Structure 1
């Protein structure tokens, strides 16, 4: 498969994949991420938010229907997920970027395979994605197989977001980012700086974890962002309020790809040691060492030694 230079940003829109419109498309793997050079954020689902939030802020973007979904900024005040050569340097790769220019769209309650036909992945030589009989090629079947769990993860994110929206704690927050050409762009997303919201009774574990990841990833951002409305007058919020210990454990384990049972066990892999150290440090900073030790069925002295 050819891998030609891919230095053209994509400005097109997604379309439902069809034989009539896309039968001649030929796909090649891009060798960089220039197609996303002007993107300021990328949609993410709740299952990947923990690992992505360790490197870049996770916020929420509003949808036209009044709903919202999580997203990860591709730029922050002092760093970018894309290098000057348009290579990825942002840690784990978000699923939307990993599978681009393919995705899925919702129409009349049904999910359809979609594609960005103007993406540079379809310029030049490549492999066809639809056979002459109108069937997916082997390449496209493999892509569809990878898309299926991602679609399910986004579907499961929607009720989590409905839960957060029902709390009425997400507020517009506006900040300025530099684009690749040096121009400044103002962007307004949704955020919940008040850390006490995590303690809301009845909040599901998924919603609580997503809120925690959001707030931890955005601590620096909250310090410099301005409210979207010029006349908004609100009291400063305490972003240092300590999180629920169960939320802290779950979010840390998800971010590092280990289970709570792994941390409780006598296993000593590097990743498990990293999770224990991160938990011990955060518990120490929030005066919750005893609570952490109780949850993990260890002594306080043992937990102190992890950090």
Structure 2
């Protein structure tokens, strides 16, 4: 474990609500249990209002970096007992405050992380982690008997809609695995350092987001040429630079936070 990871290991990570409803009812998608059930598309993003950060895959970095900072959060040890980190799209500067969800539940940004777009579906690992199984959050308000996309066809097989969902989750799983390799390489090269976002708002309120990591540009600049070339050839260097550029979006989040305050004062 690097010294940077040791020093910030105990810090509180940003909340990582993975697109779940306030009161989850997770169930395996079943041809009998969900026969006749339909799913309406998400129009109300209130379920993500408390998610100030969500996991991100490397393939999403380019789109995410245009609107939100990308940091790395320590989530434990991997199978080799090394620190495991996950990239996170930061969507708020305070716990349980997603600045990209408006007061009326609209998603107020161009990009939506796949972690949220997949909702109310997800894969869970069963049989000791060997098998991926499709689940749905039955607490999702768009799950109903009359409107939206049918889940199970009359013959008991998944509809084209549900098959597309599974294809999306298959791609998501693959990108997660690729992202894990990228993060493991950052740890191996000891390129990460503890980071924090601190500042004062115009009205005197303070912002203090801690518990995440970012690439140390000084360490990056001191890498041997062979390592730099390897990072370029694998596409990892592009991800690193995108992550570093994304940190410029902190100011955009601060502006969103400040813009909300008059509305909150008026509502009070």
Normalised by the shorter chain, which TM-score bucket?
A: 0.5 to 0.7
Give TM-score, length-normalised by structure 2. Answer: 0.64
What is the distance in 1 between the residues matched to 2:171 and 2:85? 20
Partner of 1:212: 241
Change (3 A) 1:17 1:162: farther
Q: Which moved more, 1:17-26 or 1:43-52?
A: 17-26
Greater Cα shift, 144-153 or 53-62: 144-153
Give the distance between the partners of 1:143 and 1:124, measured in 2 at CA. 19
* Aligned match of 1:89: 108
Name the SS for the 1:67 alignment partner.
strand
Per-residue deviation, 1:90 = 2.0
Distance 1:162 1:99 in 2: 25
1:114 aligns with 2:135: yes
Bigger helix fraction: 1
Point out which structure has higher relative CO (alpha carbons under 8 A, 6+ apart): 2
Of 140, 156, 160 in structure 1, the residue corresponding to residue 162 of structure 2 is 140
* Structure 1 spans left out of the alignment, 5+ residues: 1-7, 178-183, 223-307
Does 1:72 find its partner at 2:89? yes
**Paired position in structure 2 for 1:250:** none
* Structure 1 residues 53 and 43: alpha-carbon distance in aligned structure 2, compared to 1, 3 A threshold: same
Quickly say closer, same or farther: Cα 1:74–1:132, change in 2 above 3 A: same
> What value does the CA root-mean-square deviation take over the aligned residues?
3.5
**Deviations 1:208-254, CA, capped at 9 Å, x for gaps:** 222222222224759xxxxxxxxxxxxxxxxxxxxxxxxxxxxxxxx
Shift of 1:188: 4.5
**1:40–1:146 distance in 2 versus 1, CA, 3 Å:** same
Aligned position for 2:262 = none
20 and 59 in structure 1: CA distance in 2 versus 1, 3 angstrom threshold: farther
User: Which structure is higher in strand share?
Assistant: 2
Q: Is the 8 A contact 2:75 2:84 kept in 1?
A: yes
Q: CA deviation at 1:52?
A: 0.7
Cα distance, 1:64–1:132 mapped onto 2, change above 3 Å = farther
Partner of 1:29: 41
**Alignment length, in residue pairs?**
209
Taking structure 1 as the reference length, the TM-score comes to 0.57
Q: Does 1:52 align with 2:64?
A: yes
